[in-house]
Structure 1
Amino acid sequence: ILDEPTNHLDIAAVEWLEGWLRERPGAEVVVSHDRYLLDRIVDTVWELSLKGIETYRGNYSAYVQQRAERRRYHGARYRAQQDHIRREQEYIRRNIAGQNARQAQGRRKRLERLMREQALARPEVDRTVRIDFGRVDRSGDCVLETRELVIGYPDSDEPLFEIPDLMLTRGECVALIGPNGAGKTTFLKTLLGEVQPWAGEVRLGASLQVGYFAQAHEGLVPENTVLDEILTVNPKLKRSQARNLLARFLFTGDTVDRPVEVLSGGERGRVALAKLALEGANFLLLDEPTNHLDIPSQEVLEEALGTFPGTILLVSHDRYLIDVLATQVWVITPEARALKVFVGGYKTYLEARQRIAEAPKARPASRNRRCPAEMHPKSPVERRAVEARIEVLENELSQVVHELEQAGDDLEQVRLLGSRYAELEADLEAQIAIWERLARDG
C-alpha cells in the first residue's frame, strides 16, 4: 500500500520506482496524484468521492475517457428524466380538475412512485479551480539569451553547472529537469537577478513582464490574509473584484480572511497561482507548480498553460505536465556539471536518451571496463583513475540492487535506496562520458 510514493522524489528516482513496481509480482494499492505514474503502472482506478468508490478499468488515461463517457451518459439520463417529470407535472396541473382528472390522478401516483424509488441524482459538478492568465502583452521574439553562463554562487569555489549559449524565443515552453539539489531553483533565481552568475551573463528580451511561481511560496507573507496577498499585486483592485478572483481559486466566504501561515501547501499554491494570474506576465518561471495540487487542479493548470500566449520556463517533476507542454527539455547533469538541451517534447527527450543508451560506444567490453590498446588516451594515469572509479561505482550499484531486493515493503528504505541508485547511475554515466572523452583525445 503506497500513499503518494513519488512525493519529493526527482524524476530519476520516480523512474526507478516505476520500474520496480512494474516488475514486482505482487499487488499494489497506490494513492497518487502522479498521472504519468498511474498511466504506466495501474490497470484499475478507484475514484473516491462523497458518493463512495467508483471503479474504472485501465490506466489513468483510460479512466479519464471512461469518466467523461459516464458523466455524459448520466447527464443525458438525468436531463431526460427531468424533462419527463416536467411534462407529467404540466399534464397533471392542467387536467387534475377537468374531464381527464382520473388520468391525471393516475399519472400523479406513478410520478410520485418514480420520484420516490427511481429519481436520479443531479450529476455532480466538480468544484475545482478556474485558472485564466488572461491576455498578456506581446514580448520581443528573443525572450532569453545566455553567453558563457555558469550557474553557482560567486563566493563558492566551484560552480554548479555550465550552460551552452542559449536563445529562447517567444512562445516556447521549456522543461528544466534534473536531480534534487542540482541547482534548478538557483538557475531560475539567476535569471531573475536574485543570484549573480558564477560566470557569464544573462540577457532578458524586450517588453518582458516576468512572473515567478516559487516552489516554497516564499513570496507570500505569512501574516497577510489571502485577500491581502491579492491586493499586494494590485492595490487599486476593489475588494469585491478580489473576492471574485479568489472564488475562482476556491477561496470563498471567510476563507479569504485566513492568514497565509495557517494554510495548507495546496492552499498556498492556489494563492500563488491567483497572484500570478493577476500579474499579466508574458514570461512565466514556474518552480514545481503542481506540487500539492490535486489531479483536477493539475488538469486545469495544464489547460491554462497550454493556451498561455507567452513563454514558459518550467521546473517540474510532473512528467505528465512536461509531456503535454514542453517544446524543449533542458537536463542538468550534476556529475558532468553541465546542462544539455533536447529540442522537442518529453517523448523526444526519452527517445534521444534511449538512443544514446543503446548506441554502440567506444567503451570497455567487460564489466571491468578495460580499454582496447588502440584507444589508450594520452594520460594513462588519468585513464586508470577513471576506470577505478567506474569499477567502484558498479560495485556500489550492485550492492544497492541487492539491498533493494532485501528491502521488501519498507517504503522509506526503498525511497532512500532508489534515490541512491539514481545518484550512482548518474555518476557512472558521467564517468563513462569522461572515459570516452579521454579515449577520443587519445
Structure 2
Amino acid sequence: MRRSPKARQTKSKARIRAFDELVEAQENRTPGKAQILIQVPERLGGTVIEAKGLTKAYGDRVLFAPFSGEISRTERIAILGPNGCGKSTLMRVLAGVAQPARGSVVLGTGVRTAYYRQDFTHLNPDHKIRDEVALVAPRITTQELRSHLGRFLFSGDDAESRVGDLSGGEQARVALAKITLEKANLLLLDEPTNHLDLESREALEEALEGFDGTVVLISHDRAFLAATATRVWGFNGDRVEDFAGGFDEWVEHTKRRAEAAPAVSRASSTPSAAPVRAATGLSKNEQRRREREMERLEADIAALETRIAELESALADPALYASGTTPERARQLTADLTTAQSSLAAAYESWERMGEELAGV
C-alpha cells in the first residue's frame, strides 16, 4: 500500500527525531570498560554502494565473474565463502584500494568509508598508539583522546606504546579505535573479530547494532555473523550470489543447494572453509600435513593479495608519472606486480588442488 504524502512526511520527521535522540544519547553516554562507541555519522541517502559488473582475475584464475549489486542505508552485508575464494579482494575493490579487471563501484552521495584490514597494513608500526588514532581526528583534545583510548583498554602509559610492538589483539583494538572516530557512515570490516577476546567481540556486536550507517563485513565468527548480517553476498565458485537473508538462512540455503547437487560437486558448493574428511585414501598423518599446508597457502594468498593491492595503489599514484621523475620506479613496480600476480595464481592452483585431494574429488 502506498503511503500518503502526509504519512511519508510523518515518517521522515520520526526518523530525524530518532537520529537526533541517538546523537544526544551517544554524547551523554558514559561507557564502561568493555563498550565500543562508534561516532554518529552523517545520515546517508538510499543507495550507499552500487557495484556494476565487477570482475577480478589473477592470470587464469577468475576470482569472481561479472557481479552487480546495490547496498542500501543501514544494511549489514556479510561476504561469505571458502578461504582463498576472493572475499578480501572483493572488499578491497569496494574500498577502492584495488581495481577490478572490469566493472565499477559507485558510492552514493555523502558516503564516507572506513576500512578495517585484517592484516593491519593500514596501521603505521612506528607510531605511538595515541598518535596513530589521533590521525583520523586532528581536532580531538588530549582529554577526549585519552578517554576514547581508555574505552579500548589503552590507559595511562599504554597509549605511548609503539604500534609495531603490540600483539594481534592490541593492534585490532587500535584499528577499531581509529575507525570509531572517523565518523564514517560505511564500515568495511575484514575479519574484525579475529584477534578480539569475547568481551571485545560482544562490545563490537553491540556497537554495530546501534550504528546508523551501513556495514559490509567478512568473518569466520558464526555467532557474530548470525547476530549482525541482514543480507549475504556468497561465493559459489567464481559467482557471487546476492542472497536476501541473514547468515542462518544462508547456511540453510547452501545446505539445500548441496543436497540437490551431484555428490561429486558437493564439496565445492558448500561454503564451509573446513576441510572435508572424505574417503581420500590418505593416512591421518598425511591428511593433517596437507591441511597444515592448506593453512600455509591461505596465509600466502592473503599476503600476496595485500602486496598486489599495495603495488596497484602505488602504480595509480599520479606522482609516479609527474614531470621530472624517472621511469625506473614505475617499471620496477610493474615487474613486481606481474611477479606477485603470477605467484598468487600459482598459490590458488595449489590451494585448489590440495582441497580437491582432501575432499576426495
Report which of the two structures shows the higher radius of gyration computed on alpha carbons. Answer: 1
Q: For residue 257 of structure 1, what is the aligned residue in structure 2? A: 160
Deviations 1:240-273 (A, max 9, x none): 2111110010001111001101111101110110
- Would the alpha carbon gap of residues 157 and 428 (structure 1) be closer, same or farther in structure 2, given more than 3 Å must change? same
Q: How far did 1:176 drift?
A: 0.6
Q: For residue 319 of structure 2, what is the aligned residue in structure 1? A: none
Unaligned runs of 5+ in 2: 1-31, 265-276, 296-350
Instruction: Indicate yes or no: 2:67 matched with 1:164.
Output: yes
Q: How far did 1:158 drift?
A: 4.6
- Would the alpha carbon gap of residues 425 and 332 (structure 1) be closer, same or farther in structure 2, given more than 3 Å must change? farther
- Would the alpha carbon gap of residues 354 and 426 (structure 1) be closer, same or farther in structure 2, given more than 3 Å must change? farther
Deviations 1:366-391 (A, max 9, x none): x8xxxxxxxxxxxxxxxxxxxxxxxx
Q: For residue 66 of structure 1, what is the aligned residue in structure 2? A: none
Q: For residue 341 of structure 1, what is the aligned residue in structure 2? A: 242
Cα distance in 1 for residues equivalent to 2:210 and 2:354: 34
Match among 351, 356, 360 for residue 424 of structure 1: 356
Aligned residues, how many?
263
- Would the alpha carbon gap of residues 325 and 425 (structure 1) be closer, same or farther in structure 2, given more than 3 Å must change? farther
Q: For residue 134 of structure 1, what is the aligned residue in structure 2? A: 39
Cα distance in 2 for residues equivalent to 1:293 and 1:411: 27
Q: How far did 1:326 drift?
A: 0.7
Q: For residue 54 of structure 2, what is the aligned residue in structure 1? A: 149
Instruction: Indicate yes or no: 2:203 matched with 1:300.
Output: yes
CA contact (8 A) 1:175 1:313 kept: yes
Match among 332, 338, 361 for residue 235 of structure 2: 332
Match among 249, 252, 257 for residue 351 of structure 1: 252
Q: For residue 225 of structure 1, what is the aligned residue in structure 2? A: 128
CA contact (8 A) 1:128 1:297 kept: no
1:3-402 mapped onto 2 (5 Å cutoff): 128-152=33-57, 156-333=59-236, 336-359=237-260, 397-399=278-280, 402=282
Cα distance in 2 for residues equivalent to 1:285 and 1:181: 18
- Would the alpha carbon gap of residues 350 and 339 (structure 1) be closer, same or farther in structure 2, given more than 3 Å must change? same
How big is the alpha-carbon RMSD for the aligned residues of Structure 1 and Structure 2?
Answer: 2.9
- Would the alpha carbon gap of residues 152 and 194 (structure 1) be closer, same or farther in structure 2, given more than 3 Å must change? farther
- Would the alpha carbon gap of residues 421 and 130 (structure 1) be closer, same or farther in structure 2, given more than 3 Å must change? farther
Secondary structure of the equivalent of 1:165? strand
Secondary structure of the equivalent of 1:212? strand
Cα distance in 2 for residues equivalent to 1:357 and 1:160: 21
CA contact (8 A) 2:279 2:360 kept: no
Q: TM-score, normalised by structure 1?
A: 0.55
CA contact (8 A) 2:114 2:186 kept: yes
Cα distance in 1 for residues equivalent to 2:99 and 2:148: 36
CA contact (8 A) 1:159 1:198 kept: no
Unaligned runs of 5+ in 1: 1-126, 368-395, 430-442
Secondary structure of the equivalent of 2:174? helix
Q: TM-score, normalised by structure 2?
A: 0.66
Q: For residue 114 of structure 1, what is the aligned residue in structure 2? A: none
Deviations 1:286-331 (A, max 9, x none): 0000011011111111111111111100011111111111111112
Among all aligned residue pairs of Structure 1 and Structure 2, give the percentage whose two residues are the same amino acid: 38
Secondary structure of the equivalent of 2:154? coil
Deviations 1:209-230 (A, max 9, x none): 1011111111111111001012
